Structure 1
Amino acid sequence: MSDLLARHVLAANAIVHDTLPLPQEKPHEVDRTFEMPKALYGVTVALYLGFLGIMAAGMRSPGLIIPMAIFALFIVAGFGVPALWARLDPPTDARPLSMAAFRSQGIMTHTGPLKSRDAAIQMLILPVLIVFWGLACVTIAAIVA
Structure 2
Amino acid sequence: MAQKHNLAAIAAHADIHAEPPALRAPHVVDRTFELPRGLYVAMVGCYLTFLATTALAFAHAELIIPMAIFAFFIIAGFGLPTVWTKMAPDAPKKAMSWARFQRDGITALTGHNTAGAATVQVLILPALIVVWGLAVVTIAALVR
Q: TM-score, structure 2 length as denominator?
A: 0.82
Query: In 2, Cα distance between the equivalents of 1:65 and 1:29?
Result: 43
Query: In 1, Cα distance between the equivalents of 2:106 and 2:88?
Result: 25
Q: Which residue of 2 aligns with 1:82?
A: 81
Q: In the TM superposition, what is the alpha-carbon distance from 1:22 to its structure 2 partner?
A: 4.4
| Cα distance change of structure 1 residues 48 and 131 upon mapping to structure 2, 3 Å threshold | same
Number of matched pairs: 128
Q: Which residue of 2 aligns with 1:118?
A: 117
Q: Name the SS for the 1:29 alignment partner.
A: coil
Query: In 2, Cα distance between the equivalents of 1:52 and 1:135?
Result: 11
Alignment gaps of 5+ in structure 1: 1-17
Q: Which residue of 1 aligns with 2:108?
A: 109
| Cα distance change of structure 1 residues 142 and 89 upon mapping to structure 2, 3 Å threshold | same
Stretches of 4+ moved more than 4 A in 1? none
Q: Which residue of 2 aligns with 1:52?
A: 51
- Identity value in percent: 48
Query: In 1, Cα distance between the equivalents of 2:20 and 2:52?
Result: 62
> Which has the greater radius of gyration?
1
Alignment gaps of 5+ in structure 2: 1-16
Q: Name the SS for the 2:83 alignment partner.
A: helix
Query: In 1, Cα distance between the equivalents of 2:117 and 2:66?
Result: 34
Kindly indicate whether the alpha-carbon contact (under 8 Å) linking 1:54 and 1:134 is maintained by their aligned counterparts in 2. yes
Q: Which residue of 2 aligns with 1:37?
A: 36
Aligned-residue CA RMSD (Å): 1.8
Kindly indicate whether the alpha-carbon contact (under 8 Å) linking 1:36 and 1:96 is maintained by their aligned counterparts in 2. yes
Kindly indicate whether the alpha-carbon contact (under 8 Å) linking 1:30 and 1:90 is maintained by their aligned counterparts in 2. no
